Amino acid sequence: MKLKEVLDITIAFFKDKKIETPRLDAELLFAHYLKLERIQLYMKFDQPLQETELAGLRELVRRRVQGEPVAYILGYRDFYGYRFEVNSATLIPRPETEHIVEEVVKWTADKEKPWTMIDLGCGSGCIGLSLLKQLPQARLIAVDLSDKALEVAQRNAQTLEVADRVQFVHSDAGNVDLVMSSFKDFMGQDTVDVLLSNPPYIAANDPSVEENVKKYEPSSALYADEEGLALLKKWSKDYAPYLSSEAVMLMEMGMSQGMAMKSHFENLKIFKSVRVVKDLSGHDRVIYGVKHG
């Protein structure tokens, strides 16, 4: 069978199985397995596929139809223009999380400074490492409770050539003393310019969580108590005293949490301004506090 025939059959099969983005998923899987760019698939439509290739593609299609996310099948996800290794130990980076990176880049745009940063619950490292690529003088402490997630983040740091500017800390982000001790040792100071986090913020009983997310992504990175607000509130409160005189704190949150988190940030009494950043769908997505001395 020729490539186009097999691709068309797969797209139709994905549609029948209610895959949300059937053409995109099929193209990504085919390009990955055949070691082609997606555009090259359409330049090789008449290429016959060998039986071994068909068998390999069938296995990827089977995994996708069973619900396994494309990013885990491929072993990577692109984020903010960079490619990040991911696996079942890490959350899959989402486009809405890029708003954190965008906001920090804008905030630092007119300032020349070797920024000190902490990324709490770093996972694959997509937030903090993307910022190291954007801010050549910055340095980062990246914290995660999962040693397997940190192994992925360390490989991503090597791939992105920023490993010399990041220290990974295997710890619960709630262990402030340990994190700040590591920070002081690495940075040579004890105040943080940029505090970042995409913490667990989903309520345990949230009915809107997709079954495939529940099945494949690490639950420890998804769920929090107090209707998902517990770690958002705790980490922001615990690390607020360590912010420098000119600093920002940005945390991703759920679409229904904007009002509660804006009130919480304001009640910390340290920010000159607090605002909610909305994602491209118009949903509340990032709580953002700016501190000036």
What is the rounded CA–CA span in Å between residue 165 and residue 256?
35
Residue 22 annotated as part of some ligand binding site: no
Residue 144 annotated as part of some ligand binding site: yes
Q: For residue 225, give both structure tokens.
A: 């108590």
* Residue that has been written with the tokens 């309520």 in this structure: 203
- If you compute the radius of gyration of the chain from its CA atoms, what whole number of angstroms results? 21
| Termini Cα distance of the chain | 68
Contact 115, 137 (CB under 8 A): yes
142 has which bridge partners?
119, 168
Residue 254 annotated as part of some ligand binding site: no
Contact 138, 119 (CB under 8 A): no
How would you label 70-80 residue by residue, b for 16+ Cβ within 10 Å and e otherwise? bbbbbebbebb
Residue 200 annotated as part of some ligand binding site: yes
Residue 126 annotated as part of some ligand binding site: no
Residue 198 annotated as part of some ligand binding site: yes
* Residue that has been written with the tokens 């301004």 in this structure: 273
Three-state DSSP state, 45? coil
Residue 207 annotated as part of some ligand binding site: no
> Residues marked as binding for substrate?
198-201
> Residues marked as binding?
121-125, 144, 198-201
> Residues marked as binding for S-adenosyl-L-methionine?
121-125, 144, 198
